[in-house]
Amino acid sequence: MTGSERPATPAGETPASGSLPHWSDGDDVPTITRGEGVRVSDDEGTQFLDFASQLYCVNAGHSEETIVEAMTEQARRIPYVSSSKHNDARTELAARLADVAPGDLSGVYFAVSGSEANEAAVQFARAEQDAPKVLTRWRSYHGATYGAAALTGDPETRATVERYAATSGSGKFLPPIPAAFDAESPEELTEKAADHLEFVIRNEGPDSVAALLMEPVGGTSGAFPAPPGYFERVRDLCDEYDVLLISDEVITGFGRCGDWFGIEAEGVQPDMITFAKGVTSAYAPLAGVLVRDSLGASLREEGIDVGQTFGGHPVACAAGVAAMDVYEDRLLDNVESVAPTLESELRALNAHEAVSEVRGRGFLWAVEFAEPETGDPYVDPWAGEGNETDDNPVAAVKEAAMDAGVLVGGGRPGFQLIVAPPLCADESDV
Ligand code: PLP
């Protein structure tokens, strides 16, 4: 079958799978059976350039031999050791993470998925602050499990959020996106968005707020980088109102936005970082939370235990150590040298009347579409939902890209494409 015979795919990027209740990208999406570097191929031998890194995970590229070898070696020696004992791969990965994490984030807790990492961070924050609420942004994605879904604020999961809100104790605020605040400059946008956040903290009652949980660059919600100074204002507000700052780096970590962690570019120190996806380049499921020294000590004293059986699985940790070697040796430099070309090629799409904005950082970009009649973005940030429309071009563009041999992602809300190649993509791939 050629790509052109495949039906249109829905805009949302959701995992294809045979079993209910998993969503699927459609009945006739390719069955991917092989991958190498930035390319994958299906069971009929059709090759695709994977510019979505399979849900923005496969940062080191497909079938990276050094990672496969490290996992094999670990599995041969001892595949699993429970968290009640030490394990060399786990200890080494924890030390490597603490080495590259900003500031004094040297405590490492391992989980299995990004959703669970975020839930663990929330439990840490609530225990430490003795306060129930965690504030997150509309147009954010923090996971699909019970608590993480309640923290999520993308319009497509609004119904889910509200179903869980009563138990989650979470509140929402708006990210600094131009369409939400009528600002004439990035500086004014920072000011208005930070003032709005302060209003929300005060309105919720600062003593009841344990933490803010934010992606440094919005991921599937549309690759939003913050305007200059926004995160500094956020950090100041956290200090002023005694609220912890958690940076959700499930997508933005491990070189995706250029640095080890996306928050580094903002020059502020978070109290916790949550990570997943790129830590093993998705060669095995692994996630975790990095916590500041003092917070780690206090949590240990308190004896808070949120451990899971497969958190910090040794085979996954071996994959993590090998993936970090690849990032360090080659790929952080590659992102630095290739990202400007990726950026300028994508920004050229801004000239198209169907495109309302191109934005992102490093190897994480979004192309947002405009309503053809008005040229306005499809999403009303204050309404918290996408406009009802049958003309959403994203499905057709994704299908056309697939016909041309390129896989790209779909954002949530679904009026945008997400372009996020493996970090080994070179100029010619771009
Ligand atoms: N946080 C962010 C920013 C994400 O993008 C995701 C998943 O895409 C998650 C958390 C949830 O991670 P997982 O799907 O591994 O549970």
Question: What distance in angstroms lies between residue 150's CA and the mean position of ligand 1's atoms?
Answer: 13
Query: Domain segments of the chain: what residues?
Result: 3-63+330-419, 65-325
Q: Give the CA distances from residue 398 to residues 3, 369, 416, in Å, rounded to whole numbers and listed in that order.
A: 11, 13, 10
% of the chain at pLDDT higher than 70: 89
pLDDT above 60 for 147: yes
Question: What distance in angstroms lies between residue 114's CA and the mean position of ligand 1's atoms?
Answer: 5
Quick check: CB of 220 below 6 Å from ligand 1?
A: yes
Q: Give the CA distances from residue 189 to residues 43, 193, 215, 228, in Å, rounded to whole numbers and listed in that order.
A: 48, 6, 18, 9
CA dihedral sign, ordered 261, 262, 266, 270 = negative
pLDDT at 249: 98
| CA-140 nearest atom, ligand 1 | 3
Q: Give the CA distances from residue 314 to residues 81, 92, 274, in Å, rounded to whole numbers and listed in that order.
A: 7, 10, 19
Q: Give the CA distances from residue 310 to residues 57, 123, 299, 313, 355, in Å, rounded to whole numbers and listed in that order.
A: 19, 19, 21, 5, 43
Task: For 65-325, give the CATH class.
Answer: alpha beta
d(CA 348, CA 335): 19
Element (H, E) at 275: strand 272-275
Is residue 62 packed enough to be buried (19+ CB in 10 Å), middle (13-18) or exposed (0-12)?
buried
Is residue 305 packed enough to be buried (19+ CB in 10 Å), middle (13-18) or exposed (0-12)?
exposed
Question: What distance in angstroms lies between residue 143's CA and the mean position of ligand 1's atoms?
Answer: 5
Smallest CA-to-CA distance from 170 within 117, 110, 232, 214 is with: 214
How many C-alpha atoms does 73 have within 13 Å on its Cβ side? 13
**157-166, 174-183, 293-302: range with lowest mean pLDDT:** 157-166
pLDDT tier, 395 (very low <50, low <70, confident <90, very high otherwise) = confident
Quick check: CB of 223 below 6 Å from ligand 1?
A: no
**149-163, 242-256, 364-378: range with lowest mean pLDDT:** 149-163
d(CA 170, CA 118): 13
Average pLDDT, the chain: 89
d(CA 129, CA 126): 5
| CA-113 nearest atom, ligand 1 | 15
pLDDT at 26: 61
The conformation of residue 377, written as its DSSP 8-state character, comes to B
pLDDT tier, 8 (very low <50, low <70, confident <90, very high otherwise) = very low
d(CA 220, CA 251): 9
Determine which residue's CA is closest to atom 5 belonging to ligand 1.
251
d(CA 199, CA 177): 17
Question: What distance in angstroms lies between residue 32's CA and the mean position of ligand 1's atoms?
Answer: 22
29, amino acid identity: V
pLDDT above 80 for 376: no
Beta bridge partners of 108: 290
Q: Which value does ipTM take for this structure?
A: 0.99
Q: In this structure, what are the phi and psi dihedrals at residue 355, rounded to the nearest 5 degrees?
A: -105, 125
pTM of the full predicted structure? 0.93
Measured between its terminal Cα atoms, the distance across the chain in Å is 26
> Which tokens in the block code for residue 315?
């085979």
d(CA 219, CA 411): 8
Domains 3-63+330-419 and 65-325 share a fold: no
Quick check: CB of 356 below 6 Å from ligand 1?
A: no
d(CA 130, CA 376): 43
pLDDT tier, 102 (very low <50, low <70, confident <90, very high otherwise) = very high
Element (H, E) at 108: strand 105-111
**3-7, 91-95, 125-129, 210-214: range with lowest mean pLDDT:** 3-7
What is the per-residue pLDDT across 293-326, written as a single tens digit (0 to 9) for each?
999 999 988 888 788 999 999 999 999 999 999 9
d(CA 419, CA 30): 19
| CA-276 nearest atom, ligand 1 | 15
What is the per-residue pLDDT across 244-254, written as a single tens digit (0 to 9) for each?
999 999 999 99
Assigned architecture for domain 3-63+330-419 = Alpha-Beta Complex (3.90)
